[in-house]
């Protein structure tokens, strides 16, 4: 490992207190196990970078805490929902209608999205630009870019769902 400490001795010495700390944060046995295991994985891959070997314990606890915070942010951004509960929020579109959707229809719907949202959505999804690159190109703050992409995608989804529903009934919008 190159850090002067072998992996097994670090695990043997710090596993129990790390697990207890993880359990106090997560309040779940399985999540505490995952956090502890992930912390030791990070140690195995990056522990050699630690210059002061006396700070191993602090490094491990800091790493575990950061992993916990990252997992909470991910849960906040992407909350888990059972399909049965989310089903009533989904637009009523049959699987056959989804199969008929193609890129030209998506581009046609994008052309009907409010103009202020078109460029950020197109640059992000069609040109693979980063938020920062889009902000530079459009000369707007990055938060504005994120907001415009989010709102543009919401409009695009509504338009496409409307188009699919109209296609199923044979009417045009």
Domains of the chain, by residue range, sit at: 7-77, 89-169
Q: What was the pLDDT predicted at 3?
A: 46
CA distance 126 to 38: 35
pTM for the whole structure: 0.48
Q: Which CATH architecture has domain 7-77?
A: Orthogonal Bundle (1.10)
For residue 55 the two structure tokens come to: 């700070």
Give the pLDDT confidence of 88-147 residue by residue, as tens digits. Answer: 766 666 665 555 556 777 788 888 988 899 889 888 888 888 999 899 888 899 999 999
Residue from 167, 163, 70, 52 nearest 112 by CA: 163
Same fold, 7-77 and 89-169: no
What residue has token string 């992000």? Answer: 124
Q: What mean pLDDT is reported for the chain?
A: 84
Q: Which CATH architecture has domain 89-169?
A: Orthogonal Bundle (1.10)
């Amino acid at each position: 490992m190159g850090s002067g400490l072998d992996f097994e001795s670090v695990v043997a010495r710090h596993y129990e207190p790390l697990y207890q700390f993880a359990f106090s944060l997560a309040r779940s046995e399985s999540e505490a196990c995952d956090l502890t295991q992930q912390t030791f994985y990070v140690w195995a891959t990056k522990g050699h970078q630690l210059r002061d070997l006396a700070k191993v314990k602090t490094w491990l606890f800091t790493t575990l805490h950061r992993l916990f915070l990252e997992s909470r942010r991910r849960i906040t951004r992407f909350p888990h929902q059972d399909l049965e509960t989310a089903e009533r929020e989904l637009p009523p579109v049959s699987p056959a209608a989804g199969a008929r959707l193609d890129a030209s229809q998506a581009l046609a719907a994008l052309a009907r999205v409010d103009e202020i949202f078109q460029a950020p959505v197109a640059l992000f999804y069609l040109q693979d630009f980063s938020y920062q690159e889009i902000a530079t190109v459009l000369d707007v703050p990055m938060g504005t870019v994120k907001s415009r992409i989010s709102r543009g995608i919401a409009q695009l989804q509504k338009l496409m769902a409307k188009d699919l529903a109209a296609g199923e009934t044979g009417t045009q919008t």
